[in-house]
């Protein structure tokens, strides 16, 4: 795989993987991945299911001890993870969930402030199951940011939410990143989400990157921005989906061919 030409202005890297290989039996899910993410950079990773995007994220997160592989992963000291499900522990109240693993006297204060930032002030003593799905995921975001990570890894964090909640979560995530400024590696299957949030979108296919696309849009962007559809089309093409189907005629044409 060709390495990407590095810009001279590129910020120092917080994550670097070199020749990362992972395989399940005979199948090479990651085939020599070189990835570098700069400080504060938001990278979205998209790909079809089975393309290796989750495997890459788990490798970076160090959650794949049992998987065969080789290569080097350099990560910063503070890395945190957000999963598709909130993974709040049902037997801990919300604040205890948020500060789990945090030490020091100020941890609870930080947790309280973090809950307020995600709009859950006053819910510190709630049990996780008393919250809606969106609220649970907001609490999970609070938990992932309370330790001020330098790198935030997110594995389809909004995949299980309804469309309206997802839009609100995008705005929240953007606001949180502005304040806390970690680099982000977001795995998603949602092309729009990738274009709307990321500085850079990587398309992964058969365990290697097939496209590395910089998104030159203002940080505060909406789906109405004229360039968004251009980026979306390029990414869809890279995913092998082609132009969106618009009429029943083209639909039948596609199925018959």
Partner 1 sequence: MTGTLIPALARGRAAAPAVAGPDRVAEASAPAALEAPRISPQSRRRRLGRGRLFPGARLAGPLLVLLVWQVAASAGLLDPRLLTGPDVVAVSGWGLLQDGTLATHVGASLGRAVLGLALGTVAGVVLAVVAGLTRVGESLVDGTLQVKRAIPNLALIPLLILWLGIGEEFKVTIVALGVLIPIYINTYSALTGIDTKHIELAESLGLTRWQYVRSVLLPGALPGFFVGFRLAVVGSWMALIVVETINATSGIGYMMSQAQLYAQSDIILVGLVVYGIFGFTSDALVRLLERRVLSWRRTLAS
Interacting residues with partner 1 (CB under 8 A): 61-63, 80-81, 83, 85, 87, 89-92, 96, 100-101, 127, 129-130, 143
Distance CA 15, CA 75 (A): 5
Pick 91 or 224: Cβ nearer partner 1: 91
Distance CA 37, CA 102 (A): 26
Q: Look at residues 62, 33, 61, 36 and name the one whose alpha carbon lies nearest to residue 47.
A: 33
User: Please, what is the minimum distance in Å from the beta carbon of residue 155 to partner 1?
Assistant: 10
User: Please, what is the minimum distance in Å from the beta carbon of residue 83 to partner 1?
Assistant: 7
User: Please, what is the minimum distance in Å from the beta carbon of residue 193 to partner 1?
Assistant: 22
> What is the DSSP pairing of strand 151-155 with strand 42-46?
unpaired
Distance CA 152, CA 88 (A): 17
> What is the DSSP pairing of strand 183-188 with strand 151-155?
parallel
* Residue in the block written with tokens 């709009």: 119
User: Please, what is the minimum distance in Å from the beta carbon of residue 119 to partner 1?
Assistant: 22
User: Please, what is the minimum distance in Å from the beta carbon of residue 87 to partner 1?
Assistant: 4
Pick 80 or 136: Cβ nearer partner 1: 80
Pick 1 or 74: Cβ nearer partner 1: 74
Name the 3-class secondary structure at 248: helix
Pick 140 or 191: Cβ nearer partner 1: 140
Give residues with Cβ within 8 angstroms of 36, minimum separation 6: 6, 13, 15, 16, 17
Pick 67 or 211: Cβ nearer partner 1: 67
Distance CA 9, CA 11 (A): 6
User: Please, what is the minimum distance in Å from the beta carbon of residue 48 to partner 1?
Assistant: 24
* Residue in the block written with tokens 């996780």: 128
Pick 157 or 191: Cβ nearer partner 1: 157
Q: What angle do CA 75, 30, 192 make, to 5 degrees?
A: 80
């Amino acid at each position: 795989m060709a390495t990407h030409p590095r810009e001279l202005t590129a910020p120092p890297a917080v994550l670097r993987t070199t020749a990362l290989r992972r395989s399940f039996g005979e199948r090479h899910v990651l085939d020599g991945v070189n990835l570098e993410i700069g400080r504060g950079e938001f990278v979205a990773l998209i790909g079809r299911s089975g393309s290796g995007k989750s495997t890459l994220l788990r490798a970076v997160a160090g959650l794949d001890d049992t998987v065969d592989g080789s290569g080097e992963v350099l990560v910063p000291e503070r890395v945190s993870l957000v999963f598709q499900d909130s993974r709040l522990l049902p037997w801990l109240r919300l604040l205890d969930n948020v500060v789990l693993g945090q030490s020091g006297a100020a941890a609870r204060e930080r947790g309280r402030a973090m809950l307020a930032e995600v709009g859950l002030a006053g819910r510190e003593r709630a049990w996780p199951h008393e919250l809606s799905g969106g609220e649970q995921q907001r609490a999970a975001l609070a938990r992932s940011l309370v330790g001020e990570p330098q790198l935030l890894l997110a594995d389809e964090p909004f995949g299980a939410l309804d469309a309206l909640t997802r839009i609100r979560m995008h705005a929240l995530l953007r606001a949180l990143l502005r304040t806390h400024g970690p680099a982000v590696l977001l795995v998603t299957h949602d092309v729009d989400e990738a274009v709307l949030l990321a500085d850079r979108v990587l398309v992964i296919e058969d365990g290697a990157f097939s496209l590395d696309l910089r998104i030159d849009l203002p940080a505060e962007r909406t789906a109405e921005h004229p360039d968004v559809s251009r980026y979306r089309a390029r990414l869809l093409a890279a995913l092998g989906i082609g132009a969106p189907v618009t009429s029943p005629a083209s639909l039948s044409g596609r199925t018959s061919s």
